[in-house]
Chains A and B, each alone.
Chain A
């Protein structure tokens, strides 16, 4: 009888010993990790730099006689940023299987900026009409819209999503959490 009690006591103590030798995974606090995510995603996750070439060509004839021939060729640098709009919120949920689910709004184009100081003119031909300062700016606005489309075709939004997922997964791995899933909220149509 005594031996049985001793044996049981020994087993229990041994189990406690084994459990106490295992290191617990670092616990994390949601506000801290949310701040870290915010801090990182505050910066655009993808940036494309463009040197665009803008050409304006205008020709007009009257009874076969050319009376207008305007040609303009210049380059301008533009920067386009894509990432997550953090004002749309981040949600971090603990899942039943021990994983984490992050809910974020879909990546979007955050900024398209033209550097007007970078304008370089290759040639201008003003026959029958002048090229005005506004002509330049109108063309730059058109260029901003077209590079937005071009950047989307070059998968800027997909790259932004992938980079966002990568960075959050790596952030959680520091806390020993590898099961991280994402829920992407569709952007509302304005």
Chain B
């Protein structure tokens, strides 16, 4: 390369450099003068969250805390039939071959099962078995809130909450150290029949007793607490 060409090349470089310097300086001046002016470039992440995104994050914080554990003891057979059930009438209906309702069929199954383990329901009985079940209830994380379930008006937030469901159900095995009641001779086969029978009924009973409502209220209390601390004035929960 001749000296003349080299000089012309260097001149071009300097002009480009001055041009770039001018742009950089202008950008920096704008950045510091104009509030909110952003110098985002593709390889630098700059995230801005909307209010509903922030609320979602806040709710996520408390989702696990809404869980309620219910240690539910039930008494077999007393918890599983109505006190005023007339066993004699039921038995005679069966003997006569009368049409039985679903409830009557279930009651007769219960009666027979009790006979097998030595409880006669026709007479006043003081024999029973205590069954311990663990029921966990909490927010249905599967259908968790998305931004459309959040409405913001000024300082007020309306939330459509996910439903609360039973997340876990188990019937505990008891041993002689943890069972503090008179023992009744029930063999493993009958025990299995009894626990199978009571499982659905216990689930329905704990829902009736309000375990889902307790979990829902707990979740709402936590969400309300965290959102009010974050500066919201009014939190409304809708289904």
Chain A positions within 8 Å of B, measured between CB atoms, are 3, 6-7, 9-10, 13-14, 16-17, 20-23, 35-36, 39-40, 42-43, 45-53, 55, 57, 71, 73, 75, 77, 122-123, 125, 147, 150, 154, 163, 166-167, 170-171, 174
Contacts and interface: CB of A to CB of B under 8 A. Distances in A.
30 contacts: A3-B10, A14-B24, A16-B28, A17-B27, A17-B39, A21-B40, A23-B46, A36-B230, A39-B225, A40-B61, A40-B229, A42-B225, A48-B69, A49-B211, A49-B214, A50-B72, A51-B70, A51-B72, A57-B182, A73-B75, A73-B128, A122-B78, A163-B64, A167-B61, A167-B65, A170-B60, A171-B61, A174-B54, A174-B57, A174-B58
B24 A49 contact: no
B41 interface: yes
Contact of B39 (A20, A53, A125, A154): A20
Nearest to B25: A13
A48 B209 CA distance: 14
B126 A71 contact: yes
A40 B230 CA distance: 11
A43 B61 contact: no
A163 to B, nearest CB: 6
Given A6-B17, A55-B180, A73-B128, A17 B57 contact: no
Interface residues of B, number: 53
Contacts of B17: 6-7, 10
Given A50-B72, A123-B126, 17 more contacts: A6-B17, A6-B21, A13-B28, A21-B40, A21-B44, A39-B229, A43-B218, A43-B221, A47-B69, A49-B70, A49-B71, A50-B71, A51-B73, A53-B73, A53-B75, A55-B181, A147-B71
Q: Which of A35, A46, A147 has the most CB of B within 10 A?
A: A46
Contacts of A36: 226, 229-230
A185 B72 CA distance: 33
B222 A17 contact: no
Contacts of A40: 61-62, 222, 225-226, 229
Contacts of B18: 6
A7 B51 CA distance: 45
A133 B182 CA distance: 23
B228 interface: yes
